[in-house]
Amino acid sequence: MKKLLVACAALVASIVPAVCAAEEPHSRRFVLVEAEGFKHYGGWVVDPQFMDQMGSPYLLAHGLGRPVADAVADVEFPAAGTYRVWVRTMDWVARWNAPAAPGKFQVLLGDRALETTFGTQGAQWHWQDGGLVEVKERRVRLALRDLTGFEGRCDAILFARDPDFAPPNSDPAMAAFRRACLGLPEQPEPAGTFDLVVVGGGIAGTCAAVSAARLGLSVALIQDRPVLGGNNSSEVRVWLQGARNKEPWPRIGDVVAELEQEHRAHYGPANTAELYEDEKKLAVVRADDALGLPWVEHNIRCDPEAAHVVFSSGARITMVPLDVTLRVSIDRAGLERIRKAGTSFHLAVADQLARYPRFRDRGSTYTHDPLAVATAFDSFCACAGDFALRITSDT
């Protein structure tokens, strides 16, 4: 039985040590703390839905008007001394010129809050200057303190030894800076060659991957989160809806039924994370009668609670960083490699890619889901063979 590769994101660390040297390592030092990497979230939650727009998951203080409990991390500095603090955040109502800045929060070092209140300026994500702070010990407790319960947002916290340094705020410069601070490679490790690559582990992607694997294909299911299900996961908490297993296609929906949760609560506090059975979805994709024992590939990027879900799944785990947030593309040379494979499937995929407006205009396109549109050409796509293309990412 062919195997399914699940690519998930998880951060496995009890301390958040993200230290990097700048271009002049003897004169500048940085400590970058990704908010989603905090050891304890308290009442804050991870929001990953806007990574393609602002570059990263972030912590959200969703307290329905009541301040949530502090998020806490232990941070290790390269040396004691004076640092300038930068916090990547935004005033989420500023775009409407609304007053009061409801997403206010504080940053605490030890028991002391910085003088600056964050989330009070800027309609766009930016690095808000938190001023200078004296770090007296190398290991310090860092906390985010929500002040309102009304959707405060924190993406990352940067400590800079150089008081004149200002971090980049737009890609690709910001992405390169953050990768350097986190010790991530410029290019990911090759993950292998597969008959089918499914990008996105929502309900549609998970069902497509499971179905293809049961037909005997080797499948890579690439997901930028540590859980499957997309909106129907514990992170977003939207219930499965819609008709399935209806005539004239009574078997369409079988895999969805395997993923569906046993219990549900529609709204409010009763709609808790555990109702969404994230472990159940992982169990389906690694079931012996469907896929055999898969690997779980994950990037050191997200959160320890998610890591627990991945590790408790019982899957074999390796460490291959993957990033599929609209950075994977096929160019003209890649299209020709697909076309030269010569089968009707490959020709259909090549024709579909060539129709993308971005491909016509720029000579390359994001991969999206070539199989989905290829099925419009011919139903044979359900029996697709070797894709004849290695997909690589530029991050």
Q: Which of 123, 149, 182 marks a domain boundary?
A: 182
Mean pLDDT of 137-165: 96
Q: What is the band of 219 on the pLDDT scale with cuts at 50, 70, 90? A: confident
State the sign of the Cα–Cα–Cα–Cα dihedral 116, 119, 122, 128: positive
- Contact between 369 and 200 under an 8 Å Cβ cutoff? The reply is yes
Overall domain count for the chain: 2
Q: What is the band of 309 on the pLDDT scale with cuts at 50, 70, 90? A: low
Residue 247, in any domain of the structure: yes
Q: What is the band of 373 on the pLDDT scale with cuts at 50, 70, 90? A: very low
Q: Which domain holds residue 221?
A: 196-383
Q: Are residues 299 and 370 in the same domain?
A: yes
Mean pLDDT of 165-170: 93
Q: Are residues 207 and 162 in the same domain?
A: no
Q: How far apart are CA 67 and CA 51, in angstroms?
A: 25
Q: What is the band of 54 on the pLDDT scale with cuts at 50, 70, 90? A: confident
Q: Are residues 345 and 215 in the same domain?
A: yes
Q: Are residues 84 and 232 in the same domain?
A: no
What's the pLDDT score for residue 386? 40
Q: 278-285 vs 203-214: helix axis angle to the nearest 10?
A: 20
Q: Are residues 221 and 324 in the same domain?
A: yes
What's the pLDDT score for residue 28? 55
Q: How far apart are CA 326 and CA 55, in angstroms?
A: 11
Q: Are residues 294 and 216 in the same domain?
A: yes
Residue 310, in any domain of the structure: yes
Q: Are residues 178 and 40 in the same domain?
A: yes
What's the pLDDT score for residue 288? 43
Q: Which of 141, 158, 182 marks a domain boundary?
A: 182
Q: Is the pLDDT of residue 344 over 60?
A: yes
Burial readout 50-72 (b: 16 or more C-beta within 10 A, e: otherwise)? ebeebbbbbbbbebeeebbbbbb
Give 171-184 pLDDT, tens digit per residue.
889 988 988 888 77
Q: What is the band of 11 on the pLDDT scale with cuts at 50, 70, 90? A: very low
Q: What is the band of 384 on the pLDDT scale with cuts at 50, 70, 90? A: very low
Among 167, 223, 190, smallest CA distance to 31 is for 167
Residue 8, in any domain of the structure: no
What's the pLDDT score for residue 197? 82
Q: Is the pLDDT of residue 353 over 60?
A: yes
Strands 4-10 and 295-300: parallel
Indicate the average pLDDT of the chain: 76
What's the pLDDT score for residue 312? 60
Q: Are residues 141 and 204 in the same domain?
A: no
Residue 393, in any domain of the structure: no
Task: Please tell me which residue, 273 or 297, carries the higher pLDDT value.
Answer: 273
Q: Are residues 143 and 208 in the same domain?
A: no
What's the pLDDT score for residue 381? 32
Residue 233, in any domain of the structure: yes
Return the top range by mean pLDDT from 16-25, 173-182, 347-356. 173-182
Q: Are residues 164 and 229 in the same domain?
A: no
Q: Are residues 316 and 174 in the same domain?
A: no
- Contact between 382 and 175 under an 8 Å Cβ cutoff? The reply is no
Residue 223, in any domain of the structure: yes
- Contact between 233 and 226 under an 8 Å Cβ cutoff? The reply is no
Q: Which of 23-37, 44-58, 155-169, 283-297 has the lowest mean pLDDT?
A: 283-297
CA distances in angstroms from 84 to 32, 135, 167, 197, listed in the order given: 12, 10, 11, 44
What's the pLDDT score for residue 62? 92
Q: Which of 182, 215, 237 marks a domain boundary?
A: 182
High-pLDDT (> 70) share of the chain, %: 70
Q: How far apart are CA 198 and CA 367, in angstroms?
A: 10
Q: Is the pLDDT of residue 4 over 50?
A: no
Residue 286, in any domain of the structure: yes
Mean pLDDT of 296-300: 36
Mean pLDDT of 37-52: 86
What's the pLDDT score for residue 313? 59
CATH number for the domain harbouring residue 109 = 2.60.120.260
Q: Which residue has the tokens 């990412």?
A: 393
Q: What is the band of 308 on the pLDDT scale with cuts at 50, 70, 90? A: low
Q: Which of 67-76, 77-86, 247-256, 310-319 has the lowest mean pLDDT?
A: 310-319
Q: Is the pLDDT of residue 221 over 90?
A: no
What's the pLDDT score for residue 63? 92
Q: Which of 14-23, 47-56, 122-131 has the lowest mean pLDDT?
A: 14-23
What's the pLDDT score for residue 131? 97
Q: Are residues 75 and 128 in the same domain?
A: yes
Q: Is the pLDDT of residue 110 over 50?
A: yes
High-pLDDT (> 90) share of the chain, %: 33
Q: What is the band of 141 on the pLDDT scale with cuts at 50, 70, 90? A: very high
Provide the β-strand partners of residue 19.
31
